[in-house]
Structure 1
Amino acid sequence: MGKNGRGRNHMEQKETFYKTVWKIALPVTLQFLLQSSFSVVDQIMTGQLGSVSVAGIGLAGKFASIFSVLVSAIAAAAGIMLAQYIGQKDEQKADRSFLVNLGMAAILALFFTIVCTAAPRQVMEIYTKDTLTCDTAAGYLQIYAVSFLPMALTTLLSAFLRCAEAAALPLAAGIAAAAVNTLLNYVLIFGKCGFPAMGITGAAIATVTAQVAGCVLTLGMFLYHRRTQRRYWQADGSREKEVRMQADGSRVKEARSCTVPRTKRGARFSSAFHMEKEERLQYLGILLPILICEFFWSLGENVYAAIYGHIGTQACAAMTLTSPVQVLMIGAMNGFAQAAGIMVGKSLGRNDYERAYREAVKLMLCGLCGSVILSVILVLVRDSYVQIYRVEESVRHITKDILLAFAVISPVKVQNMILGGGILRSGGRTKYVMYIDFIGTWLFGVPLGLLSAFLFHLPIAWVYFILSLEECVRFAISVFLFRKKGWMRSL
């Protein structure tokens, strides 16, 4: 092949790469932001009710985040397996891995629902000794817990659709759910349209209703997608060709690459639950490290929340006010992590290790550029942001300081999200990320947080920045492992 031929091939691969990134990352990012908007809208609207309401929702959200992180871990395990099996075009294993993970997520959701509805006050007493804040948080958590099961189903169904490169479908459901959440928040929190003003109770009810609506819509999208895609496969397993009509009425056949798992000979979807011993061991080898990793990371985040809560109600409220910004900024980059896991995983499934490594580097660079731009914007608008809330001036001042610290550390956080949450896991070697997170959180983050808060009695902004330096430790270890290439494996 001549130079021109090689050049055209390179340009085509480059265009395909960015087209695929756009197709996966943009809908995933928008869906994540919409999902996160449930708590963000709650916090902004209840921010008009005072510091106690803000702190209460923030602390309840911290415990709820343990469930969210764990169910996301299950979805991550499903995504690893689905991406590789779809890359291998092994639809039977893909169906099986999806259903097993879906069952695990449902069991986890039921457990957390029972705990939060039966003993919400006991849970919240772990975070704060302030009686009023504790009561507020417990009331919110007890209602919010009803959303756990629909949230679990939505998360797993969305993971399947993303791996099938149909990320726009759960995005549509997410838009509708976000609209329901925002409208009901306004109506129920402030007592509009003839409803009584319910405060944070109304916020919790709005979130539950929106999550249920989002789950029903996502399930409908999922069933529609599977039924549509199955048309491209013949009963004997060979590919069909899509027939479409041109404007002049002539028929054109074009081969469609169907990356969605299919059920062999119309077998019932439920039959995919059966796993051989080797598959079970492989599955547990992927899932358990992710669950352990995410649980201890989330537990560490809750230790951080307890540290902020014991510094004082104003410090806790200020940290809660930064949560919408942190969620939106990290969420804006989340699509790159998801795209990394799917694209790199598919390349590994095809044993194309060179392409997997090349795509990983490009995605890290995209994430770095995007996160730096967002950090600069945050520094410029943080003064205007804090004016949204009706809280004490001292709380606004503390919030601005925390936002500055977050802007400095945010690019490193994003790189860790792309590396640990996407690339290093894509080959199924999830133990790597488990060790990295444990070292970062428990050997550095938690000790630094405790020392800076209770030994040196530093302001909360400095406490947050110092404990966040554990992100630098994670990044250094992750880059070392990435360059070693031991994570690159086909299942």
Structure 2
Amino acid sequence: MYAAILGHLGADVVAANALASVVFDLAVVVSLGLASGGAILIGKEIGENRLEQARRDASRLCKLALFCGATGGILILLTRPLLLHIVPLTETASGYLAIMLMINSYYIIGKSINATVIVGVFCAGGDSRFGLITDALVMWGVSIPLGLLCAFVFRIPAMVVFFVLCLDEFVKMPFIYRHYQQFTWLKNITRDFSAEEGTAQGT
């Protein structure tokens, strides 16, 4: 849907977005790897019933996600002048690309933190439903409707539409942070097979 919205704003927007997406994906790959690796680490600790250690490591993971996101944003900003110089785009598309890369340089921070918390922390405790609901509500209830309104009803400039589409991570961040602070995700969801075996033998 994002691509469909941007695709109706002109060929220059599509060309700039294609390149900006590739740069963003390369910059965010470490953060996504951190999220997946963190899920394994915290899941193992929860499975061993080391809940306090899991809580501490979850906090460290969030701080590391912030660092990785900021580093990715700096990387995007550092490569921005080079990309604008070497990539053969029209003047209009180059202008769009410059703005998109600037927006992505801070959007990646929200993406890194949210992905780490939802995929790495919540899922490790078996709380994947909250992330699913939050992602679905923000995407289909906020970002896409606003993007459609801005692009086809209000007909505001293309880069403002792109900015609106990149608000999703920051819209859901307060809800994710509140849920994280409640620590309802921190529970041992594994079954105690040794206890079950003892019960079965006693029976």
CA distance in 2, matches of 1:335, 1:428: 19
- Give the corresponding residue for 1:388: 86
Tell me, yes or no, if the aligned pair for 1:449 and 1:466 is still in contact at 8 Å: yes
Q: For 1:83-98, what aligned pairs fall within 5 Å after superposition?
A: none
- Give the corresponding residue for 2:158: 460
Alpha carbons of structure 1 residues 436 and 351: separation in structure 2 relative to 1, 3 Å: same
Report the more deviating stretch, 433-442 or 374-383.
374-383
So what's the TM-score if we normalise by structure 1? 0.37
Residues 1:420 and 2:118 are matched in the alignment: yes
CA distance in 1, matches of 2:2, 2:118: 21
So what's the TM-score if we normalise by structure 2? 0.87
CA distance in 2, matches of 1:458, 1:332: 34
| Alignment match of 1:401 (pick from 95, 99, 105) | 99
Q: How big is the shift at 1:336?
A: 1.4
Q: How big is the shift at 1:478?
A: 1.0
Q: How big is the shift at 1:359?
A: 0.4
Tell me, yes or no, if the aligned pair for 2:27 and 2:75 is still in contact at 8 Å: no
Tell me, yes or no, if the aligned pair for 1:405 and 1:461 is still in contact at 8 Å: no
Q: Read off the aligned partner of 1:477 and give its amino acid letter.
A: F
- Give the corresponding residue for 1:275: none
| Alignment match of 1:346 (pick from 35, 44, 47) | 44
Q: Read off the aligned partner of 1:462 and give its amino acid letter.
A: V
Percent identical: 29
- Give the corresponding residue for 1:56: none
CA distance in 2, matches of 1:391, 1:305: 19
Q: How big is the shift at 1:310?
A: 1.1
- Give the corresponding residue for 1:108: none
- Give the corresponding residue for 1:372: 70
Q: Read off the aligned partner of 2:94 and give its amino acid letter.
A: R
Q: How big is the shift at 1:379?
A: 2.2
| Alignment match of 2:55 (pick from 333, 341, 357) | 357
Q: How big is the shift at 1:407?
A: 0.9
Tell me, yes or no, if the aligned pair for 2:151 and 2:161 is still in contact at 8 Å: yes
Tell me, yes or no, if the aligned pair for 2:62 and 2:116 is still in contact at 8 Å: yes
What are the Cα deviations for residues 360-409 of structure 1, in whole angstroms up to 9, with x where unaligned?
11011011012213313322431211333222222111111111111122
- Give the corresponding residue for 1:88: none
Tell me, yes or no, if the aligned pair for 2:122 and 2:185 is still in contact at 8 Å: yes
What SS class does the counterpart of residue 426 from structure 1 fall into?
Answer: helix
CA distance in 1, matches of 2:71, 2:126: 32
What are the Cα deviations for residues 440-488 of structure 1, in whole angstroms up to 9, with x where unaligned?
1111111121122122322332212112212112211111111111112
What are the Cα deviations for residues 238-280 of structure 1, in whole angstroms up to 9, with x where unaligned?
xxxxxxxxxxxxxxxxxxxxxxxxxxxxxxxxxxxxxxxxxxx
What are the Cα deviations for residues 302-333 of structure 1, in whole angstroms up to 9, with x where unaligned?
x1110011111221111001111110111022
Q: Which runs of 5+ in 2 are unaligned?
A: 191-203
Which structure is larger by alpha-carbon Rg, 1 or 2?
1
Residues 1:327 and 2:32 are matched in the alignment: no
Q: Read off the aligned partner of 1:466 and give its amino acid letter.
A: V
CA distance in 1, matches of 2:81, 2:148: 29
| Alignment match of 2:179 (pick from 478, 481, 485) | 481
Residues 1:304 and 2:7 are matched in the alignment: no
- Give the corresponding residue for 1:170: none
CA distance in 1, matches of 2:44, 2:158: 43
Residues 1:410 and 2:108 are matched in the alignment: yes
Q: Matched residue pairs, number? A: 189
Q: 4+ residue runs of structure 1 moved beyond 3 angstroms? A: none
Tell me, yes or no, if the aligned pair for 1:406 and 1:465 is still in contact at 8 Å: no
Q: Read off the aligned partner of 1:344 and give its amino acid letter.
A: I
Q: Read off the aligned partner of 1:464 and give its amino acid letter.
A: F
Q: Read off the aligned partner of 1:384 and give its amino acid letter.
A: L
- Give the corresponding residue for 1:436: 134
What SS class does the counterpart of residue 407 from structure 1 fall into?
Answer: helix
